[in-house]
Structure formats: structure tokens, C-alpha cells
Amino acid sequence: MLVLGVAVGSTGWSPPWLASEDAVHWQIVWDIRAPRCLGAWLAGALLGLGGAVAQGVFRNPLADPYLLGSSSGAALGVAGFLAFAGVSPTSTFLLIRLGITGAAFIGAVAAVALTLLLARGVEHTLRLLLAGVVVGVVLGALSALTILMAPDIMRAMQAFMLGTTGFLGWSSVMLMCPILIVTLALAWSASRALDAISLGDTAARSLGVRLAAVRGMLVGVMALATGTAVAQAGLISFLGLVAPHLVRSRVQTTHGPLLLLSALTGGVLLLAADILARWVLAPQELPVGVLTAVLGGGYLLWRMRRMGGAS
């Protein structure tokens, strides 16, 4: 997938091995295509991991990484920054790009913190879910109000809301790579606790699981992974929800391998969607978030139809 990704450019198929014959082509492959492909894979892996953690913590197969309001918080953070600074995500200035990335990350983490505050901790998953829904709706409304008050940022916000991998560079790769390693390691360390939680809170307590501590750490992992991916690639729909389902449809496993396989699957899915978005209408690009929503939603509908037929 990575080789295929660096071979697809604005003019369609352009094999990377031709780069050795052309210095400009080599620069395009190394400075634009390669970090974009690696960044897309890393962002997808973070979302896939976040989705697997969310479904394990809440014991809900329909849970996704945005469940605690992180997407609405990130959108509000970007909208507020754009309205204040008067810039767009297409700006090439490093400080402005860092500002947008930081605003999205801070907004996502702040939304999760607000959800935890309203839910009074992580002890009650139902209260946490309801708080996440409320925070998401309220922050989404505030984001829409910000855009209404500053209509000049509408086109810039559209790129963020639809998701894009076009702004990923080596700096994004260097940021997401260690965060993926850290979050995956933390989630893996709690995989046995997730296996126990899947049996119910009472059974988990009887097995010695400290539910509050484990859930708190896993919610932090989910917030960090999701906030980092959203800050770099915008709002990518359905990917975190679909990746764990794809893994479960192929293998029956415990949460340890599930977390790793969901991350790998999420990376492959987003990279494949990015390649398709660049290739289908080249030189014009489709928003990658639109493709993941259409393909992910189509897969879930097909899965539901198949399960309904089997029953």
C-alpha cells in the first residue's frame, strides 16, 4: 500500500522508481508523497486503536473514538483559532499550521475533560456516554455559531470537517509515530483488564480489576490517540468504528491482539482511502473523510444485512 501510495500523484499513476531519473520527481516523492502516505497510515492506526479501546471500555460495538465529544471539541478549537487568527488550513506558514494543529488537539482533549467532569469520573459508563453526547451536541452548535459569525472561515473549516491528508508532512509523521507507540503500549498493558470488563463490572471486580483506574487510563489513551489523529488529518468518519469490526469478522481473539490488529487495519483503511481519493478524479482530489464515510457506512449496512439474513 505504501509503494502504491507514493506512485499516485496529481496526474495519476507515476511510478516512484522513475524518481531516480528526475531530481524534481524525487523531491515530490520524498517530500510530499512519502510523508503523506506514512502520515495517513499513522492517523488511521490511531483512529483504529481508539475505536477498539472505546468499544472495549463501553462494551458497545457501536462505540467510536469520537464518542466523548472529541470531534466537536476539535472542530470548535479550529473554528475559534481561524476566526481569531484569520487564516486557513491551506496556509504554508509553519507557525500557523502548528497553531491549527494545536487548537484541534487542545479542543479535542478539552472536550473529553469536560465530558469526564460532567460524568463525575469514569465509574458509570452510561453517564459517561450521555455526557459525551451532550458535550458533542453543545460544542458542535458552538462551532456552527462561530462559523456563522465569521463566514470567511467556512471554506477553511470545510477542509477540516471533511478530513484531508493533503497537509501531512514529515513533522506530522514524527509526531504521530511516538504517540502511536505509547498509546498502543498503554492499551496493550490493559488488554487483560478489557477482557475482564467484557464479562461485566461485577465479574471484573471479582477478578481484581480496578475499574476506575483502568477506565481512566483507557479514556486518556483514547483521547490522546483520537486528538492527535484529528489534529493532523481532520475529522475522518467511520474509520475507528469499522476497523475493529473488520478484525472481529475475520478472527476471534482477545483484546490484546484485537488492539494491535485494529490499529493495523485502521492504517491500511485510511491509506487505501487516501490513494483512492487521489486517483479516482486525478488531478482533482476527493475529501478522504467522505470516502471513509461512504465505504464504512456501506460496509456496516452490508454487515447488518448479512447478520439479519443469518438470523
Separation of alpha carbons 82 and 92, rounded Å = 14
Residue 86 has pLDDT above 80, yes or no: no
Helix (H) or strand (E) holding 8: strand 8-9
Tell me the three state secondary structure of residue 173. Answer: helix
The residue among 100 and 34 whose pLDDT is bigger is 34
Q: List residues bridging with 8 in a β-sheet.
A: 13
CATH of the domain at 114: 1.10.3470.10
- Complete DSSP assignment for 126-161: HHHHHHHHHHHHHHHHHHHHHHHH-GGGHHHHHHHH
**Per-residue pLDDT band at 283 (split at 50, 70, 90):** confident
Secondary structure of residue 82 in the 3-state scheme: helix
Q: What does the block give as the cell for 8?
A: 499516485
User: 50: part of which helix (H) or strand (E)?
Assistant: helix 34-58
SS3 letters for 62-128? Answer: CCCCCCCCHHHHHHHHHHHHHHHHCCCCCCCCHHHHHHHHHHHHHHHHHHHHHHHHHHCCCCCHHHH
Residue 118 DSSP class: H
pLDDT of residue 185: 95
pLDDT, tens digit, 9 for 90 and up, residues 190-209: 999 999 988 888 888 888 88
Q: Which pLDDT value is given to residue 10?
A: 64
Confidence band, pLDDT 50/70/90 cuts, at residue 182: very high
Residue with cell 522508481: 17
pLDDT of residue 11: 64
Q: Is the pLDDT of residue 90 over 60?
A: no
- Count up the domains in the chain and report the number: 1
95 CB neighbour count, 10 Å cutoff: 10
Q: Is the peptide bond before 16 cis (omega within 30 degrees of 0)?
A: no
Which residue range is the domain that position 256 belongs to? 2-310
Rounded percentage of the chain residues whose pLDDT exceeds 70: 88
What value does the CA radius of gyration of the chain take, rounded to a whole number of Å?
20
Distance between CA atoms of 216 and 213, rounded to whole angstroms?
A: 5
- Report helix, strand or coil for 15: coil
Q: Does pTM surpass 0.75?
A: yes
Give the mean pLDDT of 32-39. 90
Determine what percent of the chain falls in helix, strand and coil, rounding each to the nearest 5: 80, 0, 20
Pairwise CA distance, residues 71 & 82, whole Å: 16
- Residue 305 CA, chain-centre distance (Å), reads 26
pLDDT in tens, 36-71: 999 999 999 999 999 999 999 888 888 888 888 888
Q: What is the pLDDT of residue 95?
A: 47
The answer to whether residues 105 and 227 touch, using CB atoms and an 8 Å cutoff, is yes
Cβ partners under 8 Å of residue 235, min gap 6:
66, 71, 74, 75, 160, 161, 162, 163, 289
Q: Residues 230-246: pLDDT tens digits? A: 888 888 888 988 999 89
**Residue appearing with cell numbers 507514493:** 6
| 8 Å CB contact between 148 and 80 | no
